[in-house]
Structure 1
Amino acid sequence: MLSNNKTSWSGYLQFLKEVAVRDEPVIINNFNDFIHACGYVHIFFGQVIPLFYILDYRTGRYIKISGNFAGYTAETFVNEGIAHTLEIYQRDHLKLFDKTIFPQRLSILAEISSAEHQNYIFSYNACVRAKDGSYQHYLQRSCFLSDQHGNPIFSMGIIANLNGEFKRNQVIQTVEKIDPTGLNPSTVIFRQSYQVGEVERSFSAREIEVLKYMSEGLSSKQIAHKMFLSEHTVVNHRRHMQDKSSLPNANALICYAVKSGLI
């Protein structure tokens, strides 16, 4: 039975540490067969995906990660574990996953036999800060292997970069039930969209003024002169706006501001 003591992702990880779930035997027979049953090639991936991982929730460590991600090496994730993921997670996306998305996943799993957990795929899009300081959006698809009490112990999934046009401040989560045989199509049992913050309202009057001058092609130094500010302050305003909007650069920020009517 899933514990009622955990209401968030971070709370769940702490719960596993406190109740010593790791002392209970979790038997994985023919793990390769398990991966194949979840559609390792034909169902789960569906196409060539650049990164595959297995995460042990009990230890917060990645057992396997198949490649580099967001400019960080696979070894960084393996050595630093989930602490590194938390560090680079865009703060609004992390808050949404921690307080809303993960608790919803636990509620869904609580209604499903633990033996069947591996046959449900959870998908959502999120954002991290890449090593070069830009923000990178990605799609994650994962399934869980749980203990006899229904507590998810292992998360196995794929991560793929999201390119092209999509709503950067909208997160969509879906849950699909798959047929382990691969003979029948998957069935979507849950779908919900979320807004990641009220970006337009979060911009200050000063930031919007900086944004207007940016759209006119002015440099940070020129904007500082016009606004009687230091260049450092202007640079900070620009950085804060990128943090709030999860946009990778000034051009994307200006484009977003024009489309949303901010300037």
Structure 2
Amino acid sequence: MKTNNKPTWLGYLSALKNKGVEAEQLKLTGFDDFFLANDFAQSFLMHSIPFIYLLNYKSGLYINMSENFAGYNAECFLKNGINHTLEIYQQDHLRLFNEEIFPDRLQILENIAFEDHKNHIFSYQSMIKNRNGQHEHFLQRNCFISDEERNPVYSMGILIKINGFGPVIQTVERIDENRARENEVICKKVYYLNKEDQIFSKREKEVLLWMAEGLSSKMIADKLFVSEHTVINHRRSMQHKTNMPNAIALVGFAIKSGII
């Protein structure tokens, strides 16, 4: 199902349904192993109960859903499937997942053997309208069972209620099937609900200009009459906004993008 265009989540679901994948032929295994290997989820068990789900991407129906997620009966999800999720998904968060987060997931999965998809946990934060009409924040952690063409067909995971948060962060972890080692974070990316939040401040651009001249944090601090710690924080903030791994990559990105 590879295309030249970047597929959205909803577009992918529609294409998968029309493709006629026999999802039932896939072996549904690893659900218990996924939860047992999910150390993050287990750390929450003393404080809150995670909600567990299993979603069939081909049919758009939930095979399993915990009771009382966001105040809803499991039947709401089991009967209405993904349509119910779309109704309660906060629209800005839905747009972000549909247009940016899920397409990135597909790109990551393309580079992983299909039988190993279930050993990669994807995490991100979202916002859902609960049964009382109020918005609640949830952390979702899930993995995929995919066909031989590396198309995700089942999504299984957990949802954990959390406090409010800033930018949406997606992480991808490789889990050890034997649970002999800690999960390995192989990818981390920041997303912004509002694009203006990604724009550099005036002071950040000043720091960036001096970075492009090859000045150290200490030298930039002297130029701007601020502390070295402040300069370092500005640099980290800019790397965070652009998902650049280091100062050299940040400057290169800024020049290429015409920011400086």
TM-score (norm 1): 0.68
Runs of 4+ in 1 over 6 A off after TM superposition: none
2: CA distance, partners of 1:12 / 1:123: 19
**Which aligned pairs between 1:1-263 and structure 2 lie closer than 5 A?**
2-4=1-3, 7-22=7-22, 25-28=25-28, 31=29, 34-38=30-34, 40-43=35-38, 45-47=41-43, 48=45, 49-163=49-163, 166-167=165-166, 170-197=167-194
> What are the Cα deviations for residues 123-171 of structure 1, in whole angstroms up to 9, with x where unaligned?
00000111211111100000000111111111000001012x532xx21
Q: How far is 1:195 from its partner?
A: 1.5
Task: Label 1:105 to 1:198 Cα distance change in 2 as closer, same or farther (>3 A).
Answer: closer
Conserved 8 A contact 2:23-2:153:
no
Conserved 8 A contact 1:89-1:128:
yes
Conserved 8 A contact 1:140-1:158:
yes
Conserved 8 A contact 1:16-1:22:
no
Conserved 8 A contact 1:118-1:144:
yes
> What are the Cα deviations for residues 85-130 of structure 1, in whole angstroms up to 9, with x where unaligned?
0011111100000000000000000000000000000000000111
Task: Label 1:148 to 1:42 Cα distance change in 2 as closer, same or farther (>3 A).
Answer: closer
TM-score (norm 2): 0.69
SS of the aligned residue for 1:181 comes to coil
1: CA distance, partners of 2:158 / 2:66: 9
> What are the Cα deviations for residues 42-94 of structure 1, in whole angstroms up to 9, with x where unaligned?
43532323310000000000000122111211111111100000011111100
Conserved 8 A contact 2:8-2:102:
yes
Deviating more after overlay: 189-198 vs 123-132: 189-198
2: CA distance, partners of 1:10 / 1:123: 19
2: CA distance, partners of 1:42 / 1:152: 20
Identity of aligned residues (%): 43
Conserved 8 A contact 1:37-1:181:
no
Conserved 8 A contact 1:114-1:146:
yes
Structure 1 unmatched runs, 5+: 201-263
2: CA distance, partners of 1:7 / 1:149: 16
Conserved 8 A contact 2:118-2:144:
yes
Question: What's the C-alpha RMSD, in Å, of the aligned pairs?
Answer: 1.9
Structure 2 unmatched runs, 5+: 198-260
Structure 2 letter corresponding to 1:65: M
2: CA distance, partners of 1:3 / 1:137: 33
2: CA distance, partners of 1:97 / 1:42: 25
1: CA distance, partners of 2:6 / 2:82: 18
Structure 1 letter corresponding to 2:131: K
Aligned length: 191
> What are the Cα deviations for residues 205-248 of structure 1, in whole angstroms up to 9, with x where unaligned?
xxxxxxxxxxxxxxxxxxxxxxxxxxxxxxxxxxxxxxxxxxxx
1: CA distance, partners of 2:135 / 2:184: 32
Structure 1 letter corresponding to 2:2: S
Conserved 8 A contact 2:13-2:58:
yes
